Structure 1
Amino acid sequence: MGKRNYSQYCPLAYAMDVVGERWTLLIIRELMFGPRRFTDLQRGLPGIGTNLLSLRLKELEQRKLLRQRVLPPPAAATVYELDQLGYELAPAIRELSIWGMRYLCLPIPKQHHIGKVQSMFALMNSFLPADSDATLTIEFFDPYDAFYATISNRELLLQHGAAPQQPDAVVKTEWRSIVSIAGHQPDVYTALEQGLLNVTEGEADAVKRFFQQFTLPVAMEP
């Protein structure tokens, strides 16, 4: 049986034919900040089965939205990364995620998964620089993964992996803590006191200044 489509001469219908299957947009979300291994995608999408993930990746590769690449030694791992067509979806995905913010609330339900990319999205969607002179790089990590965030010229850069140059601070944390702190529940001062943010290198003041540039627009549960 061939893949179903809407059979409508409409650009939105055609777009949905390409990316409207379940999990497809979330796979693209996982790749927006750089290449990921298959196991990285599994960890970021814990509800998807191995066979279905393989199928969706194959479909996206056939549609020229992503490609596979083998990293040079010593890594020598196969990664998936967005192709040009995939990256062109990034603005639409960001706008859709901002639209979806109205359905989120704090505190985060305990049963809901928060992975690294969700925490990066929370920072991306809540960036509201209060300090025009802020120039900071903060590296965040948990036992499995890391990313870094750089603020410069009132712009935010988010990227997988360790910071290529010495950051202002290195912070061990849980990804859901980043989302909560971006929403000031708790604020960064309380988070540091409670150990939700553990500064392993650099200065805590840099972390405080960093989170002062974010306001996550979500509702609070009554």
Structure 2
Amino acid sequence: MALTIMIADDHPAVLYGLRRLLENAPRSRFVIADAVEGGQALLRSLRGRDCDLALVDWYMPPERGPSGRELLARLRTTFPQTTLVVMTASQQPAVLAASLAAGATGLYDKRECSSQLPRILYQAAQGRLCVSPSLEIVLERHYLTRYHWGQENHQALTPREREVMRLIAAGYTGRETAAQLKRSEKTISRQRRSALDKLGLNPDSVPTLAPG
């Protein structure tokens, strides 16, 4: 059965290349419904259409409408029947996790071999999480298990754990964090471990609280 797909990217050359790739892929069953250059155009084009997939660039200029988390949230709410696949050149774990948390079923690395894209789209359309191998490595390095990919667990942290994680991200050492928060270094270390467990983060993937 053919899969109807919408593509959104702010670079016309990328849109042209993606269209050609998908239309000419071996045993291709993709029907390109439209290829647009921004979030607002995508939302407008989807109205009144039955579309299986939306392949969306994570970042597009704000003057062309919403992008990133905001665009995915609107797509998920307004067109819940459309499967979302995000393409990005970023290897920031926060960007990848935000894409999945916002409802993407697939992640495609724009720097990777284009032959990966049809596989990602097909699997995502079947409701199976599919991620480019290079991005999968980033997520596996950053999170303890696949279960934690895209899980927004920050609300599970206590206020004190949030304070510790904020200072870790800012580059504070264990001693400096303890001094800032007026707690012992042992307490700070324990709160860090607890926060990492709740967030499902690999301790080796976040800054270490050096003694100072």
Query: Does TM, scored on the shorter chain, surpass 0.5?
Result: no
Considering fraction of residues, name the structure with more strand. Answer: 1
Considering fraction of residues, name the structure with more helix. Answer: 2
More RCO (CA 8 Å, sep 6+): 1
